[in-house]
Structure 1
Amino acid sequence: MEEIRTGVCMICEQQRIGGIHIIMAFICDECSSEMVKTNVSDQKYPFFVKQMKKAFYRGNSKQYMN
């Protein structure tokens, strides 16, 4: 049986159902889908990079775990 993952998304910062846990952080399905479609020249790209950095800082990322 597949586990339904929930948590506060480190990208959109909303409580979501469905997504992935990376290191100590949760990324919802909607954000992960949008991130993989985003070109490096897109205006959203720097935002995604900034938000992803949270996963590498334990102090900041704990709030994103369920």
Structure 2
Amino acid sequence: MSVDEDGISQATFSRYKKQFGGMSVKEAQRLRELEKENAELKKLLADQLLKARALEIALEKNV
């Protein structure tokens, strides 16, 4: 694998260019922010679903 003077392999550069090539820097930064926010929201949803399931199990045991 070849690495250029910036320390980036050609494969990494090609992948990034394919993903972000048509975007401005601001658009790419916003995309990164949205992806981070989406991951946080997915985690919150998973936590809430787990809590809801735990409550369902607790209620079933009390019936």
> Normalising to structure 2: TM-score of the pair?
0.27
Bigger helix fraction: 2
Report which of the two structures shows the higher radius of gyration computed on alpha carbons: 2
Select the structure with the greater relative contact order (CA < 8 A; seq sep ≥ 6): 1
> Normalising to structure 1: TM-score of the pair?
0.26
Bigger strand fraction: 1
